[in-house]
Amino acid sequence: MAVMAVMTVGLGARVEAGAGASSSSLWEAWPHTVPVPPFALKHEGMRAQLAAILARHEGLFTIAEEGASAEGRRIPLVVLGNGPTTVLLWSQMHGDEPTATSALLDVLEHLGRTRKTPETERLLSRLRLAIVPMLNPDGTERTRRTNAQGIDINRDALRLETPEGRFLKSVRDRLKPSIGYNLHNHTAGLTAGRQGPQVAISLLSVPYDEADTENEGRLVTKRLAVLVRRLLEPYAKNRVGRYDMDYTARAFGDSMTRWGTATLLIESGGFFGPDEASTLVRLNFVALLGTLHALADGSLAAVDARDYDAIPLNTRDRLFDLLLRNARVVSGAGLPPYRADVGMNLPPARAGFPGSSGRGSRGGVLELGDLTDFLGKTEIDLSGRLLVVAPPGGDEGWKRTLLGLVSRGRATAAGVLTLSEAELSAEAKAWLGNAPALAPGYGGDFLVLQPEDEGRFRVERRISPVEP
């Protein structure tokens, strides 16, 4: 492809090899520009952030043009830098995948703060950045994947029935960028390989044909992916994975590469913990700026594209929000207790990101039995304990049930149950009434019982897949 040949010269012979930007310096420089979590940043908030950045850093960028969504919301194209190599970055093609939108605003803020430094001057003199921070504002307003027409924009590269897709295609055709960054979120339930931890960032050097042909553009995006992994390793150790995806002509990433814009897919996954959302934004910030500096200073050429295949492939459906191991289970079906692991997910709103909970979007028990090959974001070893389905009604329901047990001599006033395992199984079946017994789909609470001696059990804790 002619565009690829020009890009190779632009990133090779015409620049001196530099050292790139260190991940530690970028990590510490993260400006945390957006004060609200990514899912709270909507269209007007994004435009207000752009205006505020431009007010702080006059002349940093221009709004080269604006497209319009199906419902008429404006889609700004931000352009900065005057270099010979154009790089197109677009985010929130899916309205419920917002992490990189905040990261792109952080990139703009950082370039504004550092525009007089040699590193940023070099970046802006050798690259022209074209940024669409929010391609699907209608979907963003609804926190849903599709646009207002109900169409997945990322599957509209051939028919171009969406105004958002037509706008992105027109930008690509006019600017003819050599490199594209396709920025998304994926489910938080992926692991980096079968034995790896939860994936924070996933990468794909996007193919442009069914044969997965490797040309110079693919080599560049493979190098970019390898560099992202290196940049993030200090902060997301073993948490960078790789997609193994088939070529899809109707998808924009595949089509961009076919049209001559070699595209790197970067998807944010999960980073379980209290600062999950902001950590993922920060990781994106480091990945984006680190690779852009490497494109600008020529250091990307020293990255071995063959290391791309060493990035572990993502594995689906191995990660639960909560995994209870080695319990003796009283299921409420009146059966004798049995040993099982129980994997469950929280409802999406509690799992960290709306619609992003692993192994589907529903909360409750997903699987039980021998889950040795699975992982949990949180794991609890219940060896030596009984896991019993709880009476409906939460704490109040248990209090009423306990009073009934005390009145029949099946519990002490201190709340110690005085009955055999067989009697406990019968009681659990009775207190569930018409509620379903434990099986995949169960959404009720559990009681964890600690045996004290023969025929005596103390309630140690309550576990709920719904409430904290």
Q: Could you tell me the CATH number of the domain that includes residue 77?
A: 3.40.630.10
CA end-to-end span of the chain: 55
- Residues 260, 337: one domain? no
Q: Residue 353's pLDDT is what?
A: 52
- Indicate the pairing of strand 319-330 with strand 338-345: antiparallel
DSSP state of 411: B
Q: With contact defined as beta carbons under 8 Å apart, do 64 and 79 qualify?
A: yes
Which residues are within 8 A (CB) of 369 and not within 5 positions of it... i.e. 6 or more apart?
Answer: 340, 341
Instruction: Quote the number of domains for the chain.
Output: 2
| Residue 120 included in any domain | yes
- Residues 338, 400: one domain? yes
pLDDT along the chain (468 residues), means of 10: 32 41 94 96 98 98 97 98 98 97 98 97 98 98 96 96 98 98 94 92 94 93 98 97 88 94 97 93 98 97 97 91 95 95 79 44 84 92 96 92 94 92 94 92 94 91 75
- Residues 102, 197: one domain? yes
- Residues 362, 242: one domain? no
Q: Residue 245's pLDDT is what?
A: 75
What is the Cα–Cα distance from 206 to 210, expressed in whole angstroms? 11
- Residues 310, 323: one domain? no
Q: Residue 20's pLDDT is what?
A: 62
Q: Residue 363's pLDDT is what?
A: 78
- Residues 409, 261: one domain? no
- Residues 309, 356: one domain? no
- Residues 209, 103: one domain? yes
Q: Residue 317's pLDDT is what?
A: 82
Q: Residue 13's pLDDT is what?
A: 30
- Residues 111, 195: one domain? yes
Full domain range(s) for residue 161: 2-315
| Residue 250 included in any domain | yes
Out of 315, 333, 352, a domain closes at 315
- Check which CATH number belongs to the domain holding 398 and give it: 2.30.40.10
Residue matched to tokens 């980096």: 192
- Residues 42, 184: one domain? yes
What is the Cα–Cα distance from 436 to 84, expressed in whole angstroms? 65
Out of 286, 315, 344, a domain closes at 315
- Indicate the pairing of strand 240-242 with strand 416-418: unpaired
| Residue 395 included in any domain | yes
- Residues 396, 334: one domain? yes
Q: Residue 8's pLDDT is what?
A: 34
Beta-carbon neighbour count of residue 3 at 10 Å? 17
| Residue 468 included in any domain | no
- Residues 290, 407: one domain? no
Out of 295, 315, 335, a domain closes at 315
